[in-house]
Amino acid sequence: MKKLLALVAVLAMALAICAGCGGDTQKEPAQQGNAGGDKVIKIGIFEPASGENGPGGKQEVLGVRYAHSLQPNVEINGETYKVELVEVDNQSDTTKAVSAAQNLVASNVSVILGSYGSGVAIAGGDTFKTAQIPAIGISCTNPQVTDGNDYYFRVCFLDPFQGTVMANFAKDELQANNAFIITQLGDDYSAGLGNYFKQAFTALEGNVQEAQFQTGETDFNAILTNVLNSDADVIFAPSSIQTAPLLIRQAREMGITIPILAGDTWENESIILNAGDKATEVYLSTFFDENDTSNPAAAEFVSGFKAWLNADSANLTNNGGSDGVAAVSALGFDAYNVAIEAIKAANSTEGTAIRDALPGVEYVGVTGSITFNETGDANKDMAYVKTIDVENGNFKFLKTQSVGE
């Protein structure tokens, strides 16, 4: 019996020594099986579900979830992996965004989608880069998102383009010679887009006046008094979803009747709801229009997405209470499918392999053809210009616009 116990002890020691000799072993795959024994790959969703851009983040997530419902699995090395969505709320806050990004890294995701809001995307970018996990921006339009970060890509157009589109629209369609630009201090999206509009408008020989407001400000009387006393023909006010209806209502209540222009963040049903009948002469640029029938894939998406929304009251609530198709939902749908294509091309769950595969992805999506340039930005050159139809309470398509038109 003693000999048997001694033999067991020797074997246990040998196994312990072997267990410690892992220096040359390969890194474990990022993904493991679930409780049911299925192989799983995790995709992180880095979006605001709260804060000043929460409504937009929710709509972006809806597009991702719908895409996932249609394609919940992916083939890797001849095996079927279930795709698990891991969602975090970056709260529309650049500080909290870092913690949210770290939570996704700790969850062993292979690729990340988001965010709505360039500031939070920029804030989380270094975390993703350090962890070597690729991120695909959905509607974060500021150039700094991908600048210097070879782990960040995006499927939307950029603010230099968007600012130029709206400057051209102000000059050509509204015959504006003088613009008053209102931006939020410290907000990368607002300040950046305002600056790109200014550059383009002045290049068209337009004149500009500017004012800034603090984060969380709700009383715009002082700024709007300056607008009222100026010779402005238009206001350009790229801002958050929460700020937009406040600006609109207060401007109209003060007797300011000139057109108010903005960027993609203003395409949200809550702005129409909260601005009400004051939302006259409001124009914005965005990425998609649900009534554009020129793309068969888009028409199929719109039909399916509306049915999916209406089948679940929670989805309708997160969409602002209607089944209108926001452009960011269409982009979220495309971003998920681009991620799936990259995973297939990489034939791996490892972040570096997926990152290396992304530049070669060519995907024909509902928002158009998606390929990436050398900085990881989508090669896109068309925007949709819309206005608010106050009478019917929705967004009305006006025209598509490319730079130089």
* pLDDT tens digits, one per residue of 164-194: 999 999 999 999 999 999 999 999 999 999 9
- Biggest CA–CA distance in the chain, Å, is 101
- Residues 192, 48, 111: CA angle, nearest 5 degrees: 90
Q: Which amino acid is at 274?
A: N
Alpha-helix runs per DSSP H in 132-235: 159-168, 188-203, 221-228
Rounded Cα distance between 88 and 49, Å, is 8
pLDDT at 401: 85
- Res 38: pLDDT: 87
pLDDT on residue 36: 62
Domain 39-157+295-372: homologous superfamily in CATH: Response regulator (3.40.50.2300)
Write out residues in the chain with pLDDT < 70, as ranges.
Answer: 1-36, 404-405
Nearest to 285 by CA among 158, 181, 188: 158
Domain definitions of the chain by residue range: 39-157+295-372, 160-286+384-401
Backbone φ, ψ for residue 40 (5° rounding): -130, 140
For residue 143, what is the DSSP state?
Answer: G
User: Which residue from 38, 106, 108, 45 is spatially nearest to 73, judged by alpha carbons?
Assistant: 38
Please list the residues that pair with 395 across neighbouring strands.
388
Residue among 164, 154, 165, 159 at smallest CA distance from 142: 159
Q: Is the dihedral of CA 264, 269, 273, 278 positive or negative?
A: positive
Closest CA to 50 of 41, 42, 58: 58
For 289, phi then psi, to 5°, come to -135, 125
Q: Can you tell me the distance from the alpha carbon of 238 to that of 260, in angstroms, rounded to the nearest whole number? A: 10
Superfamily of domain 160-286+384-401: Response regulator (3.40.50.2300)
- Cα separation, 341 vs 379, in Å, equals 17
Which conformational region is residue 31 in: left (phi greater than 0), alpha (psi within -120 to 50 degrees), or beta?
beta
Angstrom distance (rounded) from CA 88 to CA 68: 17
- CA–CA distance, 395 with 397 (Å, rounded to integer): 7
CB 208 within 8 A of CB 181: yes
* Element of type H or E holding 383: strand 383-389
Distance CA 161, CA 361 (A): 23
* Cα 354 from Cα 347, distance rounded (Å): 8
Q: Is-contact 132 109, C-beta < 8 A?
A: no
Residues 97/380/322/267 CA torsion (nearest 10 deg):
70
* Res 30: pLDDT: 52
Burial 315-325 (b: 16+ CB within 10 A, else e): beebbbebbbb
**Under 8 Å between Cβ of 155 and 365:** yes
Confirm whether 39-157+295-372 and 160-286+384-401 share one CATH topology.
Answer: yes
Give the per-residue pLDDT at 18: 37
Q: How is the chain split among helix, strand and coil, in percent rounded to 5?
A: 45, 20, 35
